[in-house]
Amino acid sequence: MRVVVLAEDSSKVEGVEAEHGLSLYIENGSRRILFDVGKSGLFARNAKTLGIAVNLVETLILSHGHCDHTGGLERFGELNADSKIYATLTTFRPYFSLRMGNVYENIGTPRFDADERFSDRIVFNEGFLKLPNGEILFSDVKTNELRSEANDALFSLASTESGNDDNKRDLTSDNLFRHDSFEHEQNLIVTTETGRNVLFVGCSHRGIVNIMVRCAEILGRAPDVAFGGFHLMSPSRGESIPLNSLDRIAERLACWPTRYYAGHCVGTEAFDRVQRVLRNQISYFGAGETFEF
- Report helix, strand and coil shares of the chain as percent, to nearest 5: 25, 30, 45
How confident is residue 175, by pLDDT bands cut at 50, 70 and 90? Answer: low
Q: In the chain, how many domains are there?
A: 1
| Average pLDDT over every residue of 231-251 | 90
Q: What is the pLDDT of residue 49?
A: 98
Residue 99: pLDDT band by 50, 70, 90 thresholds?
A: confident
Residue 161 confidence class, pLDDT cut points 50, 70, 90: very low
The whole-number pLDDT of residue 249 equals 97
Res. 237: pLDDT tops 70: yes
pLDDT digits (tens, 9 = 90+) for 110-158: 877 777 888 899 999 999 999 999 999 999 999 999 989 999 999 998 8
The verdict on pTM exceeding 0.85 is yes
Written as one string, the DSSP assignment of 85-152 is EEEETTTTS-EEEEETTTEEEE-BS-SS-HHHHTTTTEEEESSEEE-TTS-EEE-------S--GGGG
The span from the CA of 125 to the CA of 123, in Å, is 7
Task: Name the residue range of residue 153's domain.
Answer: 2-292
| CATH code: domain of residue 277 | 3.60.15.10
Residue range 46-98, pLDDT digits in tens: 999 999 999 999 999 999 999 999 999 999 999 999 999 999 999 999 999 98
